[in-house]
Chain A
């Protein structure tokens, strides 16, 4: 008796429901099995250099020197059986379960033994009829070499095997193998995303480094958005080189959204495409492409990463708001209430803002330390100010409430860029220390440099502080980061910045577009009227004032966020000229 050891890939297969088939039609089943062996199984084993070790009635054990060979054999056998079964009545169909493992085996008199063999047999029992189940070692060896997607089944405790084994399966698309759509990991309670490695379709393996580096930058940039759950690089890169189904990735990683993309190269230029997909239903939420030169590779990586992270934040926010509104109203969480408030307030109309504040009050009542809700409520009070107040006491109360909310949000969540940004704009708008407000917004942008809204708020704060040119720069950065967002508010800010710099023509150009895009935003009307007045175009100034008075009784504000007295003077004088109060 000779006993040797060697490393091998082991394939174990058996017929699903064998006793039922034999019970129903013994002769027919045995004949069919014989035909399947002779026509399909044996030739396929031979084609992949396998050795049939033994048969056990309804099962067989095969040894391969190559993992890929074993797996190819398995997929071809399953595909062949599926084809046969397509034309066979259901009760006569013969389906195999297959398990594959790789490991050390003991060979004695042609038979094989050992843990490696036992694990293969146990994996086979885990497989669906018509399916293939394998250990993690097999999956690792086969990734990228087989045009199949592998589904992680997690750690499995196998009978009589001491250690749990991580198992994977491939759906073969044949037989009755309907793998149950199990959610391996539950979705987190905030929007969750995985960024898959971008496919390098440039034909140049060198571009792999570029593509991988860029995806890492994107993951880092997204990770800084605190309200988003981002899968770590190590896990999303396990899909590198695989042709995977986004829905499956969503299930395996327990995320709702998946970002995927590709890199192509032509000469010294690269084209990067990216798309954001809802993994629950496969819907495309956003897609775009970026072109750049390979000469400035780090610049290009940075640019693309920040552009993508910048645009994804508002896109995810919009998707989450949409889904929240569709959810039934019972059992609303504080987060649902927060999202609903955002949905209601998106029109910026007065009564909608009031409703949104009610919803936020409920959210805060449930979670008093909910920084984002506190900060959002504070900014909606700023938006209410947009409509001005006939009642000065109510106006003063609104301001005090806003400042209190902003300070409370900072107290509970001072490391959240979203909270920092909102608190900064509220404190800056309502006359608190402007340097402190600038420091807060700067901190928000250090924590998340791709924060499109942060740059927008920074624009206004710079403008309030008298730094008009820097303000324009920041408004433009914000628009670049979120190119599909509403631009009216940004253009209004840019118009105001030109106005206080006495560039009236430039101001006019920006303000007129702003007015068309967001006709309810009163700062645009005031700046436009004042601008026309200073240019001596009093007729147009008066028309603008008329439109403004349809929105608010207050034309010239008594309290003004601009800290530079010259800027205040420019607004006030212009508006007085427009209303005819001054000559």
Chain B
């Protein structure tokens, strides 16, 4: 799949939708940073089109990299642009859940860590 989209972009480097597809594939392949880069290329080539999917992918890239604070605003933008897209809601919910989890962990470590549990 990535070979196909790479070929498409080699033939037409101005193919905005191609860069988005490439970004999505890179997320699936576990390369969130390259994914973000490619989605930005897509946004730059088409700065005034609907951007929900693009922000959704960037948000997801932050999410899988555990940068929850950075993921939230991107996912909110995605939902604002395209409220009917279920995935952005899923990622946002997961994101918030992990943030609550990490807050709980922080509280636990603050309150309990001094105890010589080990």
Contact = CB atoms under 8 A, between A and B. Distances in A.
B47 interface: yes
Interface stretch (A14-22, A44-52, A54-62, A226-234): A226-234
Contacts, number: 61
B76 A164 contact: yes
B11 interface: yes
A327 interface: no
A226 B45 contact: no
Contacts of B115: none
Interface string A231-274: 11011101000000000000011100000000000000000000
A234 B14 contact: no
A232 B45 contact: yes
B76 A162 contact: yes
Contact of B80 (A163, A236, A254): A163
Contacts of A185: 44, 47
B80 A235 contact: no
A231 B45 contact: yes
A228 B12 CA distance: 10
Nearest to B17: A232
A164 B17 CA distance: 24
A236 B17 CA distance: 14
Nearest to A157: B73
Given A164-B80, A234-B16, A447-B11, A254 B48 contact: no
A415 B10 contact: yes
Contacts of A447: 11
B80 A232 contact: no
B73 A252 contact: no
Interface string A410-425: 0000010000000000
B109 interface: no
A155 interface: yes
Interface size class, chain A: 20 to 34
Contact of A164 (B10, B44, B46, B77): B77
B77 A155 contact: yes
A253 B48 contact: yes
A188 B79 CA distance: 29
Contacts of A228: 14
B101 interface: no
A234 B49 contact: yes
Contact of A223 (B14, B44, B80): B14
A269 B66 CA distance: 61
Nearest to B9: A415
Nearest to A238: B48
A253 B47 contact: yes
A415 B11 contact: yes
A252 B45 CA distance: 12
B47 A252 contact: yes
Given A163-B76, A164-B73, A164-B77, A254 B47 contact: yes
Interface string B11-49: 111111100000000000000000000000000111111
Nearest to A415: B10
Contacts of A415: 10-11
Contacts of B79: 163
Contacts of B48: 152, 234-236, 238, 252-253
A415 B13 CA distance: 11
B77 A231 contact: no
Interface in A533-560: none
27 contacts: A162-B76, A163-B80, A164-B76, A164-B77, A185-B44, A222-B14, A223-B14, A224-B11, A224-B12, A226-B13, A229-B14, A231-B45, A231-B47, A232-B15, A232-B45, A234-B16, A234-B48, A234-B49, A235-B16, A235-B45, A235-B46, A235-B47, A235-B49, A236-B48, A252-B48, A254-B44, A415-B10
Interface of B: 10-17, 44-50, 73, 76-77, 79-80
Of all A-B residue pairs in the complex, the 3 with the closest CB atoms, nearest first, are A234-B49, A232-B46, A232-B16
